[in-house]
Chain A
Amino acid sequence: MDFGSFLSAPEIKIKIVTYRDIFQNKAMIEDRFGEDYRASSALIKLDPADLKQLGIKKGDTVIVKNSFGKIVVRAEESGYEAPHRGTAYMPNSPWSNSLVSDETGGKGVPRFKDITATVTTAKGEKVTELEF
């Protein structure tokens, strides 16, 4: 029996590491409001086991949120050989920056590469639009 169907959508807690990607950088130079930039930026790379726990397939959208913001991005498999459950990877972008803490200890340096958030399925909701 599938007990999962009686529970609310599973939510997992993750640490997000951000990184730079050359194709994303290229897409930004070409058109930072374009589809290519969105497709190569608004995504989160998870361990396959985490995808499974969330009950989603790669390519599905997920809600990633914490006390600083909430975004909807596409979930992908990381492709890294070593398992990394609980750690996810995102290209550095306005989407990842929506989740970065404003706590800087007065040093002027936000923790861009060290984000804690929760992930749940977005049930088909579209990727967050870039706007202020």
Chain B
Amino acid sequence: MEKDYYVCTGCGLLCDDIEVELEKNAVNKVYTACRVGVAHMKEGSRDSAFLVDGKPADEAAAIKEAALILKNAKNPLVFGLGTSTNEAQKLAIELAKKLSATLDDTSSFCLGPVVEALLQEKFKTCTLDDIRHKADVAIFWGADPSDSHPRHLSKFSYFPRGQEKQRGWEEERTAICVDIRKSHTAKICGNYFFQVPQGGDAEFIEALIAGLSGKIPKTSYNYPPKKLLELANILKGAKFGTIFVGLGLLYSLEDLGPLVRLLETLNEKAKGSFHLVPMVGHYNMRGFNENLFAETGYVNSVKFEEGAVKHGPEYSVVEALKAKAVDAALIIGSDPLSSLPRSIAKNLLEIPIITVDPCETLTSRKAKVAIRSGVSGVESGGSATRMDGVEVSFKPIVETNRPSDEEVLKKLMEAL
């Protein structure tokens, strides 16, 4: 019997095998999803709300006010979109063009550089399905999927059987964790947990490259060479290896150079091939990167100006706010007052803010116009791009009277 499955948009894994029981148009029971997914699906249905200056308003008035703010701005910022569908993201890009806006998402201070390098084909990559079917070695580096993408290991990277992996994880797969703390994922990796000191990843990579090349691996923090050589040997024997790059690794590297060299060395010295997959958190951050890349050749941090597009860190949300370069902000599905350093986010308070978000957030509380949208992926459908680049389509789980962010963006476009 074919069951009716839903897609969970709780994180970048986009699990597509979720069974749901509904009661009175609300999610009552969820099967197979993790705790985060269940919370995401169950906490959906709330009332719609449109607020202008903190007071309830009707939809038309809120859209009108928002359009006015954007029209009057010389350099508005359009930011967020990591939890929006591909369709909504493409509209936001159009909107940013029309407004000559600065456009960025959270990837500029998250995994954007890695996705950019992937799209520029600086690394070999593969899909999570390839990994399930073939991978014998997985390295979680500065990443803790047990907490961030709970089903990562059970659905793809460690425990499941696959076409070429019929005998189970104990015999056929090795999971390795490199991190600065013993995370839940590190615990599962047991003896293959390699603890590095804070900021020690670049050196660890260089030492590992040395080990792979038959030299003695040295680090300034005296990491036992024997253990490093043991790791090098496991990697050399891999037929299909993957490095899952987390923020912990990215934040500790000055640039991606060491990682590029490690992948090159691995692909030269190992039995098989090595791939890289970014541990993208938000369900469609990779989609934003790919959509903007297709349009402009850049994955984030752009400024549109009379048909031209400028790119650079100065157009990232962090630098734009720090330099007070933007004079209004349209924030879609993101809460920068929570997620950015307070020392930088506070500059948002000096400019008019428009938020489009299913929840009340620190940012929406300070917004001139706050639009409460439906939960993307729960109350509205569309398509999104999984952390490994696979496109996934989904339908809404429950009905709602709240507008999707796609609808809000459409109406904003019309009002402009």
Q: Could you tell me which A residues sit within 8 Å of B by CB distance?
A: 15, 17, 19-23, 25-26, 29-33, 68-69, 80-82, 87, 89, 93-94, 97-98, 100-102, 104, 106-114, 130-132
Contacts and interface: CB of A to CB of B under 8 A. Distances in A.
Interface of B: 10, 34-36, 39-40, 43, 108-109, 144, 146-148, 150, 180-183, 195, 198-199, 247-248, 251-252, 301, 313-314, 316-319, 322, 335, 337-346, 349, 359-362, 365-366
Contacts of A26: 35-36, 39
B304 to A, nearest CB: 18
Given A87-B198, A108-B109, A108-B319, 14 more contacts: A17-B181, A26-B39, A69-B343, A97-B339, A97-B340, A100-B343, A102-B322, A102-B341, A109-B316, A110-B109, A112-B341, A113-B252, A132-B337, A132-B345
Contact of B183 (A19, A68, A110): A19
Contacts of A132: 337, 345-346, 349, 362, 365-366
Contact of B316 (A102, A108, A113): A108
Contact of A113 (B150, B251, B301, B343): B251
Contacts of B147: 19-22, 25
9 closest pairs, A vs B, by CB? A108-B316, A100-B341, A102-B343, A108-B313, A29-B39, A22-B147, A94-B338, A98-B342, A26-B39
B251 to A, nearest CB: 5
Contact of B35 (A22, A94, A102): A22
Contacts of B251: 109, 111-114
Given A17-B181, A94-B337, A100-B343, A108 B362 contact: no
B74 to A, nearest CB: 21
A131 B338 CA distance: 10
Contacts of A80: 181-182
B15 to A, nearest CB: 15
Contacts of A113: 247-248, 251-252
Contact of B109 (A19, A29, A109): A109
B154 to A, nearest CB: 14
Contacts of B182: 80-82
A114 B35 contact: no
Contacts of B338: 32, 93-94, 97
Contact of B108 (A15, A17, A22, A109): A109
Contact of A109 (B318, B345, B362): B318
A104 B318 contact: yes
B143 to A, nearest CB: 10
B342 to A, nearest CB: 4
